[in-house]
A and B are shown apart, each in its own frame.
Chain A
């Protein structure tokens, strides 16, 4: 007993072990596998051909561009719809409850929701295409925009608003000069949480455009389905690079804005 207690002491560190193990198994190892696969051909020989295949084909570049475009448009739409909603909700005493209503659809699996959306569009005779894809994207990712915005806006001290009024600002000026700048951290979290998943998403575009619109996530899935592990791996790495770059840009913005406090939500 004594010997064991000498070797193994229950410190705070110990509680992180399960998570470290999880990270190793499901994040680090797959990443290494992807990295290795990117440099292997079908016969497991070292090669750079995969890069040539991916960067040389115009179609995969178009898919990548499309993905980024859909991501940007979806994020902008979410922001335009989400900000007013979050602003109104945070000024309501029952706002917290109503935010839950916006989150409630997330309790249902997104595939089921997307299939249902598709069924509704078909029933209404709406032509499936870019419009329906964007609708599905916004519908899926809007809660991720509203949540951080609501938290940030309702966290703004009311005395800032009163101070601005006191100094002669009318309602519009109060919003532009205090509420908006003070909610920058929320806007950035919202953008991060919508943009990154949208550029990597799959299935939504395929289902809601009847396979007409093909996004990056879909083509990664396709490559792996077709056994093109090398090309799929490279695509994944490209995606990862985009995620990292956008995260860095967001973080920089956030630091510049010197927001009240940084919160994930």
Chain B
């Protein structure tokens, strides 16, 4: 990639990795942020969003990859030399300074160009000066006015309320006129009402100032309200980069769908183009290009599921009402159709046990490829009827001799989770839990970072330590070719299988191409 970065992109993250003790906090994050954009990094706690922001601010050094700003590599630039400012999660206002001095802190340190002079050697030298007292006062007053705290300059920061401290923190960052403002969950400590007000104010500020905002939050509603672009992250990886509308309407995978808004995620089969089967019924849809009979995930937003009379001709399936909960402007109704739980929103109340018909427009069925169909691990036979999986020997049924390179496959159904980690052959941590209508799909991260997908009837708590057992007859052992073995040693990434890795790379590339062409059209517009 020798081509010049378009200047329209203010920040670019290229294959950013951050590893703590061999664990990836951020894994292969690539992201392009355009000048003036409001970008939100969204994800549950521990997904790597704050780490990514801290790498942009310069507080963390990436393990590998680079941070590009205005076409310049700033990966190794210390934070005080970066033209970005941060609004911290707990504001971090200096307790020993009053409001005025907190805001003036950056201004007092700033050097501004002050003409040039020719030195004795005949070189032109850029001269710098500091801001004068009057200039600082003017700027601080303007910043205070912007956040509606005009008469607070001599107040002590500890005497301010949370919302006021928040405003001072924003003023302190903005007074330096940064090119990029980084906000690390700035509204997390405020109450709901205040949060809503501040959301609108921040959006307004973004519009007026025209600078780039990078916002970190775990609140999906906040992200959907405020952003031009949302970056959804989970377990250190970027799951999807898109506009709020696209993220909501076309989630890239089950995680995004589950995290953004409420939705029902069901397993189904794509029979042929425009025909999908789930809940024991064939539905019309608008998706195509899947393999015949490919297993897929179907996502239905609760507001798209329409409740009809059970004899209504438009009803596609019948379901019984499990529960109905009043939510203010609607009822949240849980329905059972062919053993699958579905959630619908309706303005009318339904009695428990009532039989109703359901209708979904073909357009509202969101169909996604499954991330993985089966757990697949490349490993070796370690003894008679023994195969190594994640550092432990599992019993299996095979007659292959010891040392044979094999591919081991385990169905999601066949991964057995035990409450006590000691009871399993290996132990793992529950890192994701998604309800799929009639069962939960869990992602279990083993100690060597391999992710097991498991289907289970019970909900396990995220972060819990559990044990993994697999019945010997359920482990499918297939020999591998030697040529594949060669390949295996060259693939460094240990958590993604080569196919998954290739697919992931393709996705990133496609995204980059899309971004670039997007950016190009923008530059043309500007010209």
Q: Is the CB of B80 within 8 A of A159?
A: no
Q: In the complex where A173-B109, A182-B95, A258-B95 touch, is A168 in contact with B88 (Cβ < 8 A)?
A: no
Cα distance, A162 to B169, chains bound together (Å):
13
Which of A160, A165, A184 makes the CB contact (< 8 A) with B79?
Answer: A165
B172 CB within 8 Å of chain A? yes
- Distance, CA A260 to CA B95, complexed state (A): 7
Asked if B92 and A157 sit within 8 Å, CB to CB, the answer is: yes
Q: Indicate whether A169 reaches chain B with its CB closer than 8 angstroms.
A: yes
CB distance A160 to B94 under 8 Å?
yes
Whether B109 lies near A159 (C-beta < 8 A) is no
A: interface residue count bin: 20 to 34
Task: Encode contact with B along A31-66: 1 for CB under 8 Å, 0 otherwise.
Answer: 000000000000000000000000000000000000
- Distance between Cα atoms of A178 and B106 in the complex (Å): 13
Contact with A along B71-113 (1 / 0, CB 8 A): 0000000111000111011101111100000000110011000
B57 CB–A CB distance under 8 Å: yes
Q: Which residues of B contact A257 (CB under 8 A)?
A: 96
Q: B92 is contacted by which of A163, A258, A259 (Cβ under 8 Å)?
A: A163
What are the residues of chain A within 8 A of B58 when measuring CB–CB? Answer: 165
Q: What residue in chain A is nearest B93 (Cβ atoms)?
A: A163
Interface string of A224-265 (1 = CB under 8 A from B): 000000000000000000000000000000000111100000
In angstroms, Cα B84 to Cα A164, docked, is 13
Cross-chain contact A166 with B85 (CB below 8 angstroms): yes
Report the Cα distance A258→B157, complex, angstroms.
Answer: 11
Q: Is the CB of B80 within 8 A of A166?
A: yes
Pair A167/B57 contact, Cβ less than 8 Å: no
Docked CA distance A193–B57 (Å): 41
**Number of contacts between A and B (CB, 8 Å)?**
65
Do B85 and A167 touch (CB < 8 A)?
A: yes
A168 lies within 8 A of B109 (CB): yes
A26 CB to closest chain B CB, in angstroms? 39
Q: Are A162 and B96 in contact (CB under 8 A)?
A: no
List chain B residues, Cβ under 8 A from A170. 78, 80
- A165 lies within 8 A of B96 (CB): no
Q: Is B220 an interface residue (CB 8 A)?
A: no
Q: Are A162 and B105 in contact (CB under 8 A)?
A: no
Q: Which residues of B40-90 are within 8 A (CB) of A?
A: 57-59, 78-80, 84-86, 88-90
Identity of the chain B residue whose Cβ is nearest the Cβ of A181 in the assembled complex: B96
Assess whether B176 is interfacial by the CB under 8 Å rule. yes
* Neighbouring B residues of A259 by C-beta, 8 Å: 96
In the complex, the answer to whether B176 meets A167 with C-beta atoms within 8 Å is yes
Which of these, B92, B95, B106, contacts A162 with CB under 8 Å? B92
Question: Is B156 part of the contact surface with A, judged by Cβ < 8 Å?
Answer: yes
Whole-angstrom CA separation of A157 from B94 in the bound complex:
10
A168 touches B156 (CB 8 A): no
Task: Report yes or no: A164 in contact with B95, Cβ–Cβ below 8 A.
Answer: no
Q: Given the interface contacts A163-B88, A165-B78, A166-B79, does A182 sit within 8 Å of B109 by beta carbon? A: no
B154 to chain A, nearest CB (A): 14
Inter-chain CA distance A167–B85, complex, in Å, is: 7
Task: Give the distance to chain B from A178, nearest Cβ to Cβ, in Å.
Answer: 6
Interface mask (B161-193 → A, CB under 8 Å = 1, otherwise 0): 000000000001100100000000000000000
Q: Tell me, yes or no, whether A177 is within 8 Å of chain B by CB.
A: yes
Name which residue of chain A comes closest to B182, CB basis: A166
The B-contacting residues of A in range 79-111, CB under 8 angstroms, are none
Write the chain A residue with the least CB distance to B83.
A168
Q: Which of A10-31 contact B (CB under 8 A)?
A: none
Please measure, in the bound complex, the distance between the C-alpha atom of A134 and the C-alpha atom of B156, giving whole angstroms: 42
A168–B80 CB distance below 8 A: yes
Of residues 161 through 219 on chain A, the ones whose CB sits less than 8 Å from some CB of chain B are 162-170, 173, 177-178, 181-182, 184
Question: With A159-B88, A163-B92 given, can you name 18 additional A-B contacts, CB distance below 8 Å?
Answer: A159-B89, A159-B90, A160-B92, A162-B57, A162-B79, A163-B88, A164-B94, A165-B78, A165-B80, A166-B86, A167-B85, A168-B106, A169-B105, A173-B109, A181-B96, A182-B95, A258-B96, A259-B96
10 contacts between A and B (CB under 8 A): A159-B88, A159-B92, A163-B86, A165-B80, A166-B84, A168-B80, A169-B80, A170-B80, A181-B94, A182-B94
- A-B complex: 5 closest residue pairs judged by Cβ atoms: A167-B106, A159-B92, A163-B92, A165-B79, A181-B96
Where the two chains meet, the residues of A that have a C-beta atom closer than 8 Å to any C-beta of B are 157, 159-160, 162-170, 173, 177-178, 181-182, 184, 257-260
